[in-house]
Amino acid sequence: MFKLPRAVRELTETFERLPGIGPKSAQRLVFYLLHNPEERLQQFADRLTALKRGTVLCSRCHSVSEHEPCSICSDKNRDQKVMCVVEQPLDLVALERAESFSGLYHVLHGAIAPLNNIGPDQLFLYDLADRLEGVTELILATNPTMEGEATALYIKEFLEQSNKVDTTAIKITRIGHGLPIGADIEYADGVTLKRALEGRRGL
């Protein structure tokens, strides 16, 4: 019985662990790489290992950055009174690309999903209360999914019960539904994101 070389099988299995990559796509990627010159593969490997060495998580907003703090948190020209909570760094990238928001961010790195054993403790959620001094509006821009809605409601309840935050002084809003239900922010176009921000509502 024909068996692929071990190196091919192991790299295929590694690619399969990536989001959105199935067995056939993983195999196609491996054979594409196999036909590349060794120096190009080495460059690819070097960039993979540099991914961790060349990036940090901002200790304030938890976005991915080259520096600590990140360029957004250190920018005094940003609106310090408005903060937007997003699930992933890619959501921040999408909002910045839309050029419709000039405030600060807080990146959760996920959403509450009990079926996947993801609770509030697995997210950058509890330090949000420490960042709200001087903030007058908090935009909850989690994805319009069941998990995103649950996370937004949890954040609202958590802040209302926290003794660190005066929720009467902060307007808590939910991103408007310019985004279709079930969609991810990172795939939305700029116009849709702009309308979603403009149409935000109280929670």
For residues 133 and 33, membership in a common domain is answered with: no
What stretch of H or E contains 145? none
- Token look-up 């954040």 returns 155
Q: What are phi and psi of 80, to 5 degrees?
A: -75, -5
Check whether the bond before 69 is cis (ω within 30° of 0). yes
d(CA 16, CA 27): 9
Tell me the per-residue pLDDT of 109-166, one tens digit each, with 9 for 90 and over: 999 999 999 999 999 999 999 999 999 999 999 998 899 999 999 999 999 999 888 8
Residue 12, domain member (yes or no):
yes
Range of the domain at 21: 6-52
- The number of folded domains in the chain is 2
Nearest to 60 by CA among 132, 141, 167, 154: 132
Predicted pLDDT of residue 131: 96
Here the CATH number for the domain that contains residue 96 is: 3.40.1360.10
For residues 40 and 133, membership in a common domain is answered with: no
For residues 47 and 120, membership in a common domain is answered with: no
Residue 11, domain member (yes or no):
yes
Residue 184, domain member (yes or no):
yes
Tell me the per-residue pLDDT of 48-103, one tens digit each, with 9 for 90 and over: 999 999 999 999 999 999 999 999 999 999 999 999 999 999 999 999 999 989 99
For residues 142 and 195, membership in a common domain is answered with: yes
